[in-house]
Structure 1
Amino acid sequence: MSAFVWTIADQLRGVFKPHQYGSIILPFTVLRRLDCIMEPHRPAMQSIAERRLAARLALMEAHKQTRLWLFNSSPHSFASLMEDPDALAENTLAYVEGFSDNIDVFKRFKFADSIAELDEANILYAVASRFAEVDLHPDALSNSEMGDLFEDLIRRFSEASNETAGEFYTPRDAVRLVVDLAIAEDDKLGAEGVPVRTIYDPAAGTGGMLSLAEEHIHAQNPNAALTLYGQELNPESYAICKSDLLMKGHDADNIKWGDTLANDQHQGRTFDFVLANPPYGVDWKKSEKAVRDEAAKGAQGRFSHGLPSVSDGQMLFLCHMASKMRPAKMDGTGGGRVGVVLNGSPLFTGGAESGPSEIRRWLLESDMVEAIVALPTDMFFNTGISTYIWVLDNTKADERRGKVQLIDATGYGTKMRKGLGSKRVEVTDADRATILQTYAAFADTDISKIFDNQDFGYWTITVERPLRLAFDVTDEQVETVVADKKFKGLDADALADTLRAVKGTRYTSRDTFLAAVKHEGDARGLKFPAAQNKALQDLLGERDNTAEICRDRRGAIEPDTKMRDTENIPFGWNGTDKHAQANGTRKAVIDAYMKTEVLPHVPGAWVDHDKTKVGYEIPFTRHFYTYVPPRPLAEIDADLEKVAAEIIEMLREVEA
């Protein structure tokens, strides 16, 4: 059936480009399926249409009489459309416009424009008549089979247009792994009975994640009652996703169109499983006002924990998905899980107390991060970069509480015989089984590491050094000071004479130098306020570790801002308490670090504890790094001598 429908695209060659085929074939497939579904109910629908009920009432009445969540007030059908070829375009548009408002997929496909183009090219009848030959009635093709057909068409059109496939379509092997990891802890899914679950994708694309999640769960338990939800910004992808669910008998009204970050159209809902592959490196400028307004709401807002750079919205999706997990109940039931594919930046981008670091802090301190899996490179259609699956859970198993499992699955990908865009590697069933076994074992191995949540925390401390200035005035410095605008109100000649009067002496005490300048200035009628004294210090002072320490009016040591530095101290440094941040012993740990690591190299340095910041990062690669020593020099020399001998022998053959 898929091959037959695909051949209809042959009618489009020469008029449309391959990447446009899907926007025509897919809505026609939807229209034909709906036409077949409605066929036995047309008398009832015509009766409802004649009563001229309000749109919502008409839909409710249609559902009552036909059990369908759709309604069409048009007298047309595919059969009647074919009877009047001259008015085919006009009648097809009237047929499409007769659907109830919840069937908005044709508007998102811009189907009216496609009809006009087909009609203008004189191929509308050829295309429509071929679809009229296809029997897509549920008796001929079940909802499950129809979903498979539609999904296969989506995949074919995506693969035929590699430049756009990766933007809206997640490879099936990646989706299967995300789904398997997300449902791994749900033991009841495989048990007898009818488990009820909800699945949500906030960046639904064409619906592949939702469809495969349903397929996987039904493979474990065909009786599982699943309700699928999603939201998608791209109009055509939204139309495909909604159509796919409609083909499978789901309530397509659960798929919403719009910007998830700016307008959560499933507000107030939470879900058992939240799955997504949000766009990488896409800015959220268009959503910025709405996002910042929600962040300002405090704990009730999805984004109150921190905001990432406007140039990359991945972590906003991560926050949104965490907020959509079904809450855990006091008796240990309930709860939700997240499976999301992200690139490497959410692991480490941003310093202590930056937006990304605060988001990581919230997730880790709330004990929601269960596992992070590094995928092989070259897995996605439009990028070959490193990607990671984050698994979140708000009801972790006892042995996983307070822990995070990192899995390095970069070596578990199989090279494809033929690449698709940037996708050259796939995770086979065997690869996926190995990764899932590693996850389930929850043990330290070469590819699995178990950490406490606190292992990813650190303090960024500000290390100050005392300001030490020496002064040795030169003629060039005098000219610089006289020309500086900060001294514009002073007599230039008197200022120059004052500075020349202290020239020739090296002062290693700032106070002594400024006192000498004041004395010479008073003799020439010059007064130097605090701002100009500071300017003299900046223009004439040079750092000298043998000079006297500068102090403020209260006698406190002044820090040298140019020598200021920062150090990162990991929680649990040198065997200290990982929970020092929580139990109030932070200062003791920092002081011990200074004594051991800093003061032996920089005597006199100190920490400004008021500037200490808390940060979180997950240095994934560092934890799996294996040092490979360079080859011995003798071995390298032997190889070079061997190659040189081969070259000499070849030259001899040429000369001969």
Structure 2
Amino acid sequence: MSLDTQRLQPIINFIWTVADDVLINKYLENQYQDVILPMTVLRRLDLALEPTKETVLKTYNEFRGKLDNLSGLLTSAQHGSGLAFYNTSPYTMKKLLDDPRNIDANFLDYLNGFSENVQDIISKFKFRHQLETFERTNITFSLIEKFCNPKVELSPDKISPMAMGYMFEDLIRRFNEKTNAAAGRHFTPREIIELMTHLVYLPVKDKIQQGTFLVYDPCAGSGAMLTQSKHFATNPEGEIKSKASFHLYGQENTGEMYATCKSDMLLKNEDPDKIKFGSTLSEYGFDPELKFNFMLTNPPYGTSWKQDIDNLNVGTGKKIEIKDRRFNLKIKNFKGELEEKCLTSRSNDGQLMFMLHMLSKMKDPKDGGSRIASVHNGSALFTGDAGSSESGVRQYILENDLLECIIQLPNDMFYNTGITTYIWLLTNVKEERRKGKVQLINASSEEFYQKMRKNLGDKRVEFKPEHIQLIQDMYFAFEENEYSKIFDNEDFGFYQITVHQPEKDENSKIITDSKGKPKSDNSLKDTENVPMKESIADYFKREVLPFAPDAWYDKTKMKVGYEIPFSKHFYQYIPLRNLETIAQEIFDIEKETDGLLKEIVE
């Protein structure tokens, strides 16, 4: 499902002018979005309620005081809005303009008329904090008038939730660029979401035609992954055409994004209570026993989760011991024995903690299992030495045969970063040919993207439908070629051994302990990573002893490590040019410079 972003630009541009026309000299530039974003959402909700306004008011005036709870009536199709929300104020945004002298009081009445689920949205935007400034600077009328302009076409009938998410993210990106602030972490280009949804749903296309399925994003942002993935699965003109019920769940800890996401869930008649506010890692908003069929996310990477650690940590001192079963998992030690370990990544990057969180929410394979698509940067592949939590997360994933495929994306795909990113595909219901295997797909070269005519922040390249199809075809083919490699799970594991060499005195005599064993020279101590498939003894004999004949390693103190050196597996050696070629080029240059080089050398 493609999104015509060019069609949205005039609307975005007009909304952008509101800041320069109305807010300038009233607000600081870094405060513009505190007004523009909630006003955009409110106008969108306002337009959705306009057709049923009179019906809602009639029902409200007839039954208030007679029934304790009017919500059921006011949201019904016959007597109310036919949506999951309503407004009992006599005003709409357009009607507010009919009484300019009392517009501030009436606007407050209008806001207070919204149902509780919209009150939560207004609260998360902290929008009521702005009303005093509106009144003091006398901009309320101008602001509302701008948003009622026909050029601001925000009706949900004409602007889909996916389009709305794009518009919001583009506005935030512009605000952040204007104030030199870092762009939001929740921006995932729509074509990447499209690729993710294809690879999550299409492999189980035949199994999701009927029934009920739960879809979850623990870092929901504007909700685009949720709404776009459901549309892909249920679109009657799409590839799947599922008639099943898909229930969308999400959690978001940024107030403005939570409010945006929840507002579009309301407009889509999704259950707004399935969108939770707060940190997924330390304030998970759903029943711990709830499991999901599909999970798609782009978690924050390179972002601190120290506050979550502080909220979860019940240990003392420097040792982190989180008593949370999401992060306490059994992995094998070097003896092959299962040991429970608290896996907590370093405090300045919590991306792998979201991975563990999602793994804990997978349905049992007996109940159909789960499929996950998650975007990560390179550190998730290799950061952390043997024995570290990061390595432990990879170990748990690979030992339990949960990793299906990793796809390297082109650089410069995201609005806020040009770094290399990867899509991880995980499942606990692998098809037979993929069991015990991992596929790596390198989609970073020019064959897989198109350069954009105009950059959007740091985003300089994009996927077209043919690029998505190309990647998709390689995934389903599950064959090796220039861009696709297939490995055993164990290919990414290794044993880390510490290599010791004896201490020697000034006469080069080996120093021994009381038992006559050589003492280890700390200055010569080193480590070796032995591939898991290889005999440690054979490796040591081949790679160490020829260079250090007296070396040894302690067989009782080895560590298990896992890393996925993606670039190494796709490295292409470019041979050095021979001397004759280089010499000929020099002579050619000399001729071009009429012997100048010869004069300089002589």
Same fold by TM-score greater than 0.5: yes
1:511-590 equivalences under 5 Å are 544=508, 547-552=509-514, 554-573=515-534, 589-590=535-536
Instruction: Give 1:367 shift.
Output: 0.8
Aligned to 1:13: 20
1:349 to 376, 383, 397: 383
1:9-408 equivalences under 5 Å are 10-14=17-21, 15-16=23-24, 17=29, 20=33, 22-36=36-50, 38-39=52-53, 40-51=55-66, 53=68, 57-60=69-72, 62-63=74-75, 66=80, 68-78=83-93, 80-103=95-118, 104-129=120-145, 131=147, 145-147=159-161, 150-151=164-165, 153-158=167-172, 160-161=174-175, 163=177, 165-188=183-206, 193-217=209-233, 218=235, 219-220=238-239, 221=241, 223-268=243-288, 269-293=290-314, 296=321, 300-302=325-327, 304=329, 305-329=342-366, 333-408=367-442
Q: Report the secondary structure of 1:610's partner residue.
A: coil
Instruction: Give 1:238 shift.
Output: 1.0
Q: Would the alpha carbon gap of residues 50 and 561 (structure 1) be closer, same or farther in structure 2, given more than 3 Å must change?
A: same
Q: Would the alpha carbon gap of residues 289 and 148 (structure 1) be closer, same or farther in structure 2, given more than 3 Å must change?
A: closer
Instruction: Give 1:115 shift.
Output: 4.0
Amino acid at match of 1:319: L
Instruction: Give 1:7 shift.
Output: 3.4
Tell me which structure has the larger Cα radius of gyration: 1
Q: How far apart in 2 are the matches of 1:154 and 1:222?
A: 29
Q: Would the alpha carbon gap of residues 37 and 230 (structure 1) be closer, same or farther in structure 2, given more than 3 Å must change?
A: farther
Q: How far apart in 2 are the matches of 1:267 and 1:251?
A: 16
Q: Would the alpha carbon gap of residues 37 and 344 (structure 1) be closer, same or farther in structure 2, given more than 3 Å must change?
A: farther
Q: How far apart in 2 are the matches of 1:350 and 1:467?
A: 30
Q: Report the secondary structure of 2:547's partner residue.
A: coil
Q: How far apart in 2 are the matches of 1:161 and 1:90?
A: 29
Instruction: Give 1:95 shift.
Output: 2.2
Instruction: Give 1:599 shift.
Output: 2.2
Q: Would the alpha carbon gap of residues 69 and 48 (structure 1) be closer, same or farther in structure 2, given more than 3 Å must change?
A: farther
Q: Would the alpha carbon gap of residues 12 and 46 (structure 1) be closer, same or farther in structure 2, given more than 3 Å must change?
A: farther
- Contact 2:45/2:267 (<8 A) preserved: no
Q: Would the alpha carbon gap of residues 162 and 4 (structure 1) be closer, same or farther in structure 2, given more than 3 Å must change?
A: closer
Q: How far apart in 2 are the matches of 1:448 and 1:146?
A: 36
- Contact 1:381/1:420 (<8 A) preserved: yes
Q: Would the alpha carbon gap of residues 4 and 358 (structure 1) be closer, same or farther in structure 2, given more than 3 Å must change?
A: closer
Q: Would the alpha carbon gap of residues 425 and 30 (structure 1) be closer, same or farther in structure 2, given more than 3 Å must change?
A: same
Instruction: Give 1:113 shift.
Output: 3.5
Aligned to 1:503: none
Quote the sequence identity (%). Answer: 35
Instruction: Give 1:106 shift.
Output: 1.4
Instruction: Give 1:142 shift.
Output: 6.2
TM-score (norm 2): 0.84
Q: How far apart in 1 are the matches of 2:60 and 2:364?
A: 42
Q: Would the alpha carbon gap of residues 647 and 45 (structure 1) be closer, same or farther in structure 2, given more than 3 Å must change?
A: farther
- Contact 2:83/2:266 (<8 A) preserved: no
- Contact 2:409/2:420 (<8 A) preserved: yes
Unpaired runs of 5+ residues, structure 2, are 1-6, 330-341, 598-602
Q: Would the alpha carbon gap of residues 386 and 6 (structure 1) be closer, same or farther in structure 2, given more than 3 Å must change?
A: closer
Instruction: Give 1:326 shift.
Output: 2.3
Aligned to 1:621: 567
Q: How far apart in 2 are the matches of 1:37 and 1:328?
A: 46
Q: Would the alpha carbon gap of residues 244 and 236 (structure 1) be closer, same or farther in structure 2, given more than 3 Å must change?
A: same
Aligned to 1:602: 548
Q: Would the alpha carbon gap of residues 9 and 626 (structure 1) be closer, same or farther in structure 2, given more than 3 Å must change?
A: closer
Aligned to 1:450: 486
Aligned to 2:337: none
2:496 to 460, 477, 481: 460
Instruction: Give 1:625 shift.
Output: 0.8
Instruction: Give 1:299 shift.
Output: 7.5
1:624-639 equivalences under 5 Å are 624-639=570-585
Amino acid at match of 2:111: V
Instruction: Give 1:126 shift.
Output: 3.3
Instruction: Give 1:130 shift.
Output: 5.3
- Contact 2:493/2:561 (<8 A) preserved: yes
Q: Would the alpha carbon gap of residues 152 and 348 (structure 1) be closer, same or farther in structure 2, given more than 3 Å must change?
A: closer
CA-based RMSD? 3.1
Q: Would the alpha carbon gap of residues 453 and 353 (structure 1) be closer, same or farther in structure 2, given more than 3 Å must change?
A: same
- Contact 2:84/2:266 (<8 A) preserved: no
Q: Report the secondary structure of 1:639's partner residue.
A: helix
Aligned to 2:3: none
Instruction: Give 1:349 shift.
Output: 0.7
Q: Report the secondary structure of 1:229's partner residue.
A: strand
Q: Report the secondary structure of 1:450's partner residue.
A: strand
Q: How far apart in 2 are the matches of 1:224 and 1:640?
A: 70
Q: How far apart in 2 are the matches of 1:595 and 1:384?
A: 44
Q: Report the secondary structure of 1:338's partner residue.
A: strand
1:426 to 449, 452, 462: 462
Q: Is 178-187 or 348-357 further displaced after alignment?
A: 178-187
Q: Report the secondary structure of 1:211's partner residue.
A: helix
Q: Would the alpha carbon gap of residues 148 and 460 (structure 1) be closer, same or farther in structure 2, given more than 3 Å must change?
A: closer
Instruction: Give 1:303 shift.
Output: 5.3
Q: Deviations over 1:5-36 (max 9, x none)?
A: 86365444242459637425423323413532
- Contact 2:56/2:86 (<8 A) preserved: no
Q: How far apart in 2 are the matches of 1:562 and 1:187?
A: 59
Amino acid at match of 1:213: S
Instruction: Give 1:440 shift.
Output: 0.4
Q: Deviations over 1:386-439 (max 9, x none)?
A: 110000101111111111101111111211111111111111111111111000
- Contact 1:367/1:394 (<8 A) preserved: yes
Q: Would the alpha carbon gap of residues 299 and 205 (structure 1) be closer, same or farther in structure 2, given more than 3 Å must change?
A: closer
Instruction: Give 1:312 shift.
Output: 0.7
- Contact 1:303/1:319 (<8 A) preserved: no
Instruction: Give 1:222 shift.
Output: 6.1
Amino acid at match of 1:441: A
Q: Deviations over 1:584-616 (max 9, x none)?
A: xxxxx3223223322232223222112101111
Amino acid at match of 2:37: S
Unpaired runs of 5+ residues, structure 1, are 471-507, 509-543, 574-588, 652-656
Q: Report the secondary structure of 1:356's partner residue.
A: helix
Amino acid at match of 1:288: I
TM-score (norm 1): 0.77
Amino acid at match of 1:599: L
- Contact 1:48/1:62 (<8 A) preserved: no
- Contact 2:40/2:147 (<8 A) preserved: no
Amino acid at match of 2:347: V
Q: Is 109-118 or 412-421 further displaced after alignment?
A: 109-118
Q: How far apart in 2 are the matches of 1:650 and 1:195?
A: 81
Instruction: Give 1:462 shift.
Output: 1.5
Report the structure, 1 or 2, having the larger helix content: 1
